[in-house]
Amino acid sequence: MTLRPPSRFSGSGNAPDFLGLLDHEIAAEKASALGRAGERVERTLARLRAHDADASARLTLLKEAAEAVYAYFIQRELCGMRRHHDVIRECQIPNEVLVRLGAK
């Protein structure tokens, strides 16, 4: 799909750069979504670390953490960040979560 500004803005040297504005808006939204996904990972991993109860509840928390990490990895890739090793180390993502992603 090609995005073109209205014809009244084409050809003039002092017209605003609408594609640049759109690119800026898209980059801002990607960054915002990445931040929200990262916060969700932190919350789910904190709940998983704090959990001491039964095994079935832990499985539910593992599933939630794996889904959050998966969504975060996808959002990172959409932003052009392909390597996740640093994030895995910094967030201390447990192997039991990574196994559910197929990462280890």
Residue 67 in contact with residue 87, Cβ under 8 Å? no
Identify residue 85 by its one-letter amino acid code: H
- What is the average pLDDT across 15-24? 74
Average pLDDT, the chain: 85
Q: Where are the domains of the chain?
A: 18-101
At 24, the pLDDT band (50, 70, 90 cuts) reads confident
Please report the DSSP string for 36-93 in residue order: HHHHHHHHHHHHHHH--S-HHHHHHHHHHHHHHHHHHHHHHHHTT----HHHHHHHT-
